[in-house]
Amino acid sequence: MSVQYTTVDKAVPDRPIAPNRGMNAIRGIFVYALLLLGAAVMLLPFIWMLSASLKPGIEVFSFPIQWIPERIRWQNYVDIWQKIDFVTYYKNTLWLTLVVTFNSLLTSSLAAYAFAKINFPERKTLFLVYVMTMAVPFQVIMIPQFIIMKNLGLSDSLWALVLLQSFSPFGVFLLRQFFLSIPDELSECARIDGLSELGIFTRIIIPLSKPALSTLGIFQFKFVWNDFLGPLIYLTSDRNKTIQLGIRKFYTQYGVEYGLIMAASVCALLPVIVMYVAFQRYFIQGIATTGLKG
């Protein structure tokens, strides 16, 4: 008895269709074009400010806009240092910004470590209540704060701003979220080896948190450097004023010297740019790795 075997043709699977490289290239060009357009729109006000800082006051608002002045007026950058005490304002702003930024990083990191790595009763409830203070508008608390600073004898003093701005609920929130991403096993091993909480904080947590600390440092530096309302409330004497208050002196009784204002604004912008460029790598890494765990 012969057995006949029938062969069944196996269906050969279709080869995967190669991606349309042409369409991907067009899509990529379109995305980059949109990004370049957005960057140009964002940079346009700064380019106009730089252009206006090199013009006489009467040519600042000329239409159509002349981006490259026919007659460049470098004297504007000389006048801002001669007409007002710009050096004193610059020193005050730099001192205030550096001190507040350092204090904010210190206090925020200590509080964030406690909320993230130390177990104590009602830890999450206390953290939630503390973070909720970010929702309180500054206009609600500025009068009580002013009364407190006046009673402490800190009115018309840079120390009033240092005391008020050295504690940041946003900084605690940001650093806590980053600290939660650090494995607890590292802290537990250090405790077994006899390391104190302060030692764990300084030797393990802080070295691993450079991206988050840089991110918070840039945010705090930019906020304090550009702050106008705080110095306006607490600082009255000319020797204590900051750059933002000093620029207002170009608003005179007889007009506004827009060319000098733009030149002073360019000079005031330089430290912020330098700060960002110096810590850009850590800033981008901190934004990318700081999640919402916990």
pLDDT digits (tens, 9 = 90+) for 250-280: 876 556 788 888 888 888 888 888 888 877 7
Retrieve residue 266's tokens: 């360019």
User: In the predicted model, is pLDDT for residue 284 greater than 60?
Assistant: yes
Report how many domains make up the chain.
2
Question: Cβ neighbours of residue 100 under 8 Å, at least 6 residues apart?
Answer: 161, 162, 165, 166, 220, 224
Q: What tokens were used for 285?
A: 């890494």
Same domain (yes/no): 89, 181: yes
Task: Give the range with max mean pLDDT: 12-16, 116-120, 125-129.
Answer: 125-129
User: Are 248 and 223 in a shared domain?
Assistant: yes
Type of residue numbered 166: S
Q: Residues 104, 198: one domain?
A: yes
pLDDT tier, 287 (very low <50, low <70, confident <90, very high otherwise) = low
What's the token pair of residue 75?
Answer: 């004297």
Query: Which is more confidently placed, 20 or 16?
Result: 20
Question: How much is the mean pLDDT over the chain?
Answer: 83
Q: Is the pTM of this model over 0.75?
A: yes
- Give a yes or no: residue 294 inside a domain: no
262 and 166 within one domain? yes
Nearest to 81 by CA among 269, 272, 268, 274: 268
Q: Characterize 19-35 residue by residue with b for buried, 16 or more Cβ atoms within 10 angstroms of its Cβ, and e for exposed.
A: eeeeeeeeeeeeeeeee
When comparing pLDDT for 170 and 60, which is higher?
170
Task: Provide the pLDDT for residue 98.
Answer: 94
Stretch 163-188: mean pLDDT: 89
Q: Give the model's confidence band at 294: pLDDT under 50 very low, under 70 low, under 90 confident, else very high.
A: very low
Is residue 292 over pLDDT 50? no
Amino acid at the residue 207: P
Q: Which two tokens stand for residue 286?
A: 């901190």
Query: CA-to-CA distance for 210 and 187, rounded, in angstroms?
Result: 17
Q: Indicate whether 64 and 175 sit together in one domain.
A: no
pLDDT for residue 213 is more than 80: yes
Residues 231, 254, single domain; the answer is yes
* DSSP sequence for 107-154: HHHHHHHHHHH---TTHHHHHHHHHHGGGS-HHHHHHHHHHHHHHTT-
**Does residue 8 lie within any of the structural domains?**
no
pLDDT above 50 (res 291): no
Q: In degrees, to the nearest 5, what angle opens at C-alpha 268 toward C-alphas 264 and 271?
A: 150
The domain of 149 spans 82-289
- Residues 209, 175: contact at Cβ < 8 Å? yes
Give the pLDDT confidence score for residue 102 in this predicted structure: 94
Between CA 241 and CA 234 the distance in angstroms is 9
Mean pLDDT (whole number) for 223-242: 90
Nearest Cα residue to 279 out of 210, 216, 214, 224: 214
Among the ranges given (109-123, 254-268, 277-291), the one the predictor scored with the smallest mean pLDDT: 277-291
**Residue 292 identity:** L
Q: Are strands 255-256 and 251-252 parallel, antiparallel or unpaired?
A: antiparallel
Is 163 found in the same domain as 50?
no
Model confidence at 224, pLDDT cuts 50, 70, 90, reads very high
Residues 198 and 224 in one domain: yes
Q: Is 210 a domain residue? A: yes
Q: Where are the beta strands (DSSP E) in the chain?
A: 251-252, 255-256
